[in-house]
Amino acid sequence: MFRFHKNGQQFYVIIDDRIPCLSKDNGQSLPFFARCDNPNLFWVSLIEKAFAKLHGRYYALQGGTTEEALSDLLGPSSHPENLFIDPLQGTDKTSLFNSLRILSYNHCVLGCKLDFEMFAQMEEDRKNNFYRLALTKGLQPRFYYTILDVREIRTEGRDQGEPGQVHRLVRIKNPWTNSQEWNGPFNDNDSASWTQEVR
């Protein structure tokens, strides 16, 4: 049984543990929709099934915002906060990073999205250029990502006498786990950045 909050009311949803699955080439079954990285854990698929039942079907879960999801899962006592970073105003990167790091350290639920539609004064060409640049780095515009971790790491210089570097890393996860992967610095295959010291 799962409890959700919708339109100011509590709803209890009872489901069975039968999950729609795909059959892989090796004959193993894989949940068709949301799933955990660990194939032995089912809780994500079960919550999604209950949430789909509350909304009438899986297809109804295709959109939405982080704020709506948190409110539906945690109830009206959760107060999601939005932080809009206006690219035309010049956001202080250090302050933003430190804020994210503090929130992450305090186990807050964090998410992010690259979306310039709320900035009406921004030229369409500039918005589209930002979106194109994001796509070349493997980020989906207008997609919500979960922020899993925020860390600052210091590395030694590669050569003697060379100063070390400070790297500010924000670990995000694409909940849809589609083929789009971050391909900038510190991506999964960037062995030059992921040295043994950094790991």
Dump pLDDT digits (tens) for 45-61: 999 999 999 999 988 88
Least confident interval from 99-113, 118-132, 149-163: 149-163
What's the confidence (pLDDT) of residue 72? 86
The two three-digit tokens of residue 60, written as one number: 């109804």
Same-domain check for residues 53 and 87: no
What's the confidence (pLDDT) of residue 156? 75
> Mean pLDDT across the stretch 77-89?
64
The two three-digit tokens of residue 52, written as one number: 């789909």
Same-domain check for residues 119 and 166: yes
Same-domain check for residues 56 and 89: no
Mean pLDDT, the chain, whole residue set: 83
Q: Cα–Cα distance between 53 and 3 in angstroms, integer?
A: 12
In a domain, 17, yes or no: yes
pLDDT, one tens digit per residue, over 86-123 is: 666 667 888 889 989 998 998 888 888 888 877 778 88
Same-domain check for residues 29 and 117: no
What's the confidence (pLDDT) of residue 199? 73
Q: Is the pLDDT of residue 26 over 80?
A: yes
In a domain, 135, yes or no: yes
What's the confidence (pLDDT) of residue 160? 66
Same-domain check for residues 96 and 55: no
Same-domain check for residues 192 and 148: yes
What's the confidence (pLDDT) of residue 78? 62
Higher-confidence residue of 160 and 134: namely 134
In a domain, 68, yes or no: no
Same-domain check for residues 185 and 92: yes
What's the confidence (pLDDT) of residue 84? 65
Contact between 129 and 114 (Cβ < 8 Å): no
Same-domain check for residues 99 and 40: no
What's the confidence (pLDDT) of residue 7? 82
What's the confidence (pLDDT) of residue 80? 61
In a domain, 71, yes or no: no
Same-domain check for residues 150 and 184: yes
Same-domain check for residues 118 and 170: yes
Dihedral angle sign, alpha carbons of residues 149, 131, 192, 92: negative
Which CATH number goes with the domain that contains 161?
A: 3.90.70.10
Segments forming the whole domain that contains residue 45: 2-63
**What is the total count of domains within the chain?**
2
Q: Cα–Cα distance between 162 and 137 in angstroms, integer?
A: 29
Q: Is the pLDDT of residue 14 over 80?
A: yes
Same-domain check for residues 93 and 38: no
Q: Which of 31, 63, 95 is the last residue of a domain?
A: 63
In a domain, 177, yes or no: yes
Note the pTM of the prediction, 2 decimals.
0.68
In a domain, 112, yes or no: yes
In a domain, 187, yes or no: yes
Tokens 């964090």 appear where? Answer: 110
Same-domain check for residues 99 and 12: no
In a domain, 73, yes or no: no
